[in-house]
Amino acid sequence: MSVAVVVVAAGSGARLGADRPKAFVEMAGRTLLGWSLEQILASAAVTHIVVVAPASHIVHARDVLDAAVMQQQPLTGEQLRTHVVPGGADRRASVAAGLSVLDERDGIVLVHDAARALAPPALFDRVVDGLRSGFGAVIPALPVVDTIKRVDAAEIVVETPDREQLRAVQTPQGFVREVLTHAHDEVLDEAVTDDAGLVERSGTPIHVVPGDAWAMKITTQDDLGYLAWRLQQL
């Protein structure tokens, strides 16, 4: 099955305090979208990239994608296909917009946040390997190291979950295409915050593979500064 990656790059960047959509904020001289695409293109498994961008930044997104592709060595085997599409009103609608341009060749779909700009190629490969081994849904995650408390509306602790059973989920999240499209069509719960949550509610078991510290999500200026610093140490 061919592998398509839907890159969600339509976020506003409000929590980052940016004057532009988050994916177009620069870190160490290039946009977060550019960094993300560089990692994706270094995975030999990927044959189709769909960037979902704000309607105001479609041309910019296409320029970033084309530049990233030109910097890579030509793919062997199936030629890389690319699309840039406008996002929707929320993350779920943006992913749906990306799914709408897939075709019958795209048997595996990875959904990735451009804000996890340094998620390494090996992470994409690990997710794909899990899907090709027979799982319908595969997500990367890291063990939770902090003690977690669940509280009620009055901020009173009601539970302390066993952190040995907890995982901090990252992207790319991978799915057999039919599993993901079915979940998007059938699950109407608006409280779900990621595609794995939709698939979980649709009844498909989800397999977890080891995540990667480089795949941290950039949400604040502190996150941006920390990853820029880590890059300087390489």
196 alpha-carbon distance from chain centroid: 11
Q: Write out pLDDT tens, residues 11-65.
A: 888 888 888 999 999 999 999 999 999 999 999 899 999 999 999 999 999 999 9
Q: Write out pLDDT tens, residues 127-143.
A: 999 999 999 999 999 99
Amino acid at 57: H
What CA–CA distances, in Å, run from 142 to 115, 150, 192, 201?
17, 19, 20, 22
pTM of the model: 0.94
Q: Convert the chain into a string of H (helix), E (strand) and C (coil).
A: CCEEEEEECCCCCCCCCCCCCHHHCEECCEEHHHHHHHHHHCCCCEEEEEEEECHHHHHHHHHHHHHHHHHCCCCCCCCCEEEEEECCCCHHHHHHHHHCCCCCCCCEEEEEECCCCCCCHHHHHHHHHHHHCCCCEEEEEEECCCCCCEECCCCCEEECCCHHHCEEECCCEEEEHHHHHHHHHHCCCCCCCCHHHHHHHHCCCCEEEECCHHHCCCCCHHHHHHHHHHHHHC
Topology of 3-233 in CATH? Answer: Spore Coat Polysaccharide Biosynthesis Protein SpsA; Chain A (3.90.550)
The backbone torsions φ and ψ at residue 224, rounded to the nearest 5 degrees and listed phi first, read: -60, -45
Amino acid at 46: V
Q: Write out pLDDT tens, residues 154-177.
A: 999 999 999 999 999 999 999 999
* pLDDT exceeds 60 at position 77: no
Residue-level pLDDT at 91? 92
